Amino acid sequence: VIEEEREGHIDVSLSAKSPTRAARYHFLEPAIETTRVRVLARAEDAIRIDKLDDLAALGDKGILLALPGSTPYSMVVGHPGIVLDAPPISIQQLLQKLIVGRGRFALGLERSMQFTAFKLGATRQFRWEPVILGELSLHLVASRRLSPERLARLDAAWKKLAASPKLKEVIQRYAGEPIAETP
């Protein structure tokens, strides 16, 4: 997304706030939604992960998959005991690697992983672990190259859509079938 924006191919994308991103983009308010940073396991795996240290204690028996450069990845990289597999290049590849056992757990944004599992027809192959590493508010962001007039029009249109019940309907359709929780 950063490269596409830098090259002028896109003007609008989705992002969580950070100081670096705030300097690069205009963040439109309100946030689209808040999503959680979660750990996903295969449905048949009987283990329960209540905290990050439970995962770290597994060492090589708890290989974790996460997308480099993502907020979830930055939360665990370098954490003592956490073993990361060779990085996937997309959420789809991350889930496919989890399905075939290339890792025991996947870490990422709940909504993204749920939607991708639904798109793959694999929702029932996974379950959420109880550990939640944080929450991120996802925003519509606009390139700083947009003219003030276009930015104002986009901001007004976004505020109108965000106030409408239609947005919640769209988000629910996007999410697809929920993934089961670990009992």
Alpha-carbon separation of residue 159 from 8, 13, 35, 154, 164 (angstroms)? 25, 16, 20, 9, 9
- How does 35-57 read in b/e, with b if 16+ C-beta sit within 10 Å? bebbbbbbeebeeebeebebbbe
Instruction: Tell me which amino acid residue 20 is.
Output: T
Among 18-22, 25-29, 75-79, the least confident range: 18-22
**Does residue 69 have a pLDDT over 90?**
no
Name beta bridge partners: 27: 141
Query: Would you place residue 125 in the very low, low, confident or very high pLDDT band (cuts 50, 70, 90)?
Result: very high
Neighbours of 103 (CB within 10 A): 24
- Check the CA dihedral 36-42-44-49 and report its sign: negative
Query: Cα separation of 15 and 68, whole Å?
Result: 15
Q: What per-residue confidence (pLDDT) applies to 14?
A: 84
User: Which residues share a beta bridge with 16?
Assistant: 138
pLDDT at 44: 96
Confidence band for 23, pLDDT divided at 50, 70 and 90: confident
Helix (H) / strand (E) element for 167: namely: helix 166-175
